Structures are given as C-alpha cells and as structure tokens.
C-alpha cells in the first residue's frame, strides 16, 4: 500500500521543484547549487544528501519532463484512430505544452543540448525517444497502407526536428508571436511530408 510520502521524499521533491525553477531562470551552467539549496529551503549539504551532484538533478528533471511530454503525446495519439488525426493531436499537445511552459521548454530544448558533453548521451536518448514515437506511428501507417513507405527512423527524426526548430525559434525570440500561429503551416507541411494532402 502506498504509504504517505516519507519526509525524505517530500524533501527530494522540493529540491527538484526548486532546481527546475533555478535552471529555468539561469540555464544549467549559471545555476548555482547554493541557489537551489536556498530556493528549496534546505542547506547545501541537504541537497547533496538527496542527489550526488548537480548533473544528477538536471538529469532527473530531464527524464521527468521527457516522460511527461511523451505520456501526454501518447495519450493524445491513443485518443484518436485516424492516422491524420493522430498526427494533429500529437503536434497540438507538444505545441501547447511548450507554449504553456516557456522557460521550461527553453531549458529542455536549448540549454540542455549545450549543457556539456556529459548530457549528450541523455539528450540523444530523449530525442530518439520522441523521434521513435513518431517513427512507430509512421510505421503503422505505412503498414496499413495509409502512407507511402519511407525510412521511418530518419523521417521520425526529421519530423521531430521540424517541430523542434519552430518551437526553438519561438523560444529565442525576445518578443515572440503566439506559438499557435505556426500551427497551420506546420500541420500542412507534416501532412504533406508523409504523403497526405495538406487539407
């Protein structure tokens, strides 16, 4: 039976939350453990009791955010049956999630990539997870004859990258237009790229 969270778990959670805020505010390199400790209402030693080092905290956050986004995308996809509707749904979820959490998205898409080579492996894993999700649905569409055949690994990456870039551009723009505005064009492009009519 799931007991109440132990005190340790609560503390751990508080640290993660604080770290997310600090990383989002400062970026990975600029974030100081001191600040995370203060923001989580703990001592520096306390933080190190729960996490072996700074990297581990960041990694934990990456994992958690990736899992969340994946789960949302999967759910949205599962709720639809039509392959085109699935594409639409997933795209919408991703765009909405990022639009709602700008600084988080920035951390995830921009800072994490260059946070240091130690993160490269993890980032590859995450990117591949998303690209793989797309690829799996492509494969299924291809199998069912909805889409013409294509190297789904590369295609998955490419489609993921296409969305990524549009979001990233929006992230780096100091005075960005609403992200939704990119939706129709992106949708048309993605559809056509898999052999469907834009509309």
Partner DNA sequence: GATGAATGAGCATTCATTCAT
Partner DNA sequence: AATGAATGAATGCTCATTCAT
Residues at the contact surface with DNA, assessed by CB under 7 A: 6-8, 11, 30-34, 42-46, 48-50, 52-55
- In Å, what is the CA distance from 158 to each residue of 12, 37, 134, 194? 37, 39, 10, 11
Of the candidates 21, 121, 32, which has an alpha carbon nearest to the alpha carbon of residue 61? 21
Structure tokens at 90: 């997933």
When computed from its CA atoms, the radius of gyration of the chain, rounded to whole angstroms, is 19
Quick check: 83 and 147 in contact, CB under 8 A?
yes
Among a copy of itself, DNA, none, residue 157 binds (CB under 5-8 Å by kind): a copy of itself
Nearer to a copy of itself, 87 or 131 (CB): 131
Chain positions contacting a copy of itself, by CB under 8 A:
27-30, 110-117, 120-121, 123-124, 127-128, 131, 148, 150-151, 154-155, 157-166, 168-169, 172-174, 182, 184-186, 188-190, 192-195, 198
Shortest spacing between CB 33 and DNA, in angstroms: 4
Q: Return the number of the residue (9 or 151) whose C-beta is nearest a copy of itself.
A: 151
């Amino acid at each position: 039976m799931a007991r109440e969270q132990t005190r340790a778990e609560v503390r751990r959670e508080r640290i993660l939350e604080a770290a997310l805020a600090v990383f989002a505010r400062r970026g990975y390199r600029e974030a100081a453990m001191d600040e995370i400790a203060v923001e989580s209402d703990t001592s520096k030693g306390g933080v190190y009791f729960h996490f072996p080092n700074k990297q581990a905290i960041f990694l934990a956050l990456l994992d958690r955010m990736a899992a969340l986004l994946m789960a949302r995308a999967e759910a949205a996809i599962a709720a639809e049956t039509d392959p085109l509707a699935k594409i639409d749904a997933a795209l919408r979820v991703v765009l909405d999630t990022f639009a709602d959490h700008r600084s988080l998205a920035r951390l995830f898409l921009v800072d994490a990539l260059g946070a240091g080579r130690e993160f490269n492996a993890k980032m590859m894993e995450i990117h591949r997870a998303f690209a793989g999700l797309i690829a799996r649905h492509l494969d299924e569409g291809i199998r069912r004859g909805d889409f013409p055949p294509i190297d789904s690994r590369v295609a998955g990456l490419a489609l993921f990258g296409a969305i990524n870039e549009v979001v990233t551009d929006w992230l780096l723009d100091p005075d960005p237009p609403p992200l939704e505005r990119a939706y129709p064009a992106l949708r048309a492009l993605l559809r056509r790229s898999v052999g469907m009519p834009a509309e």
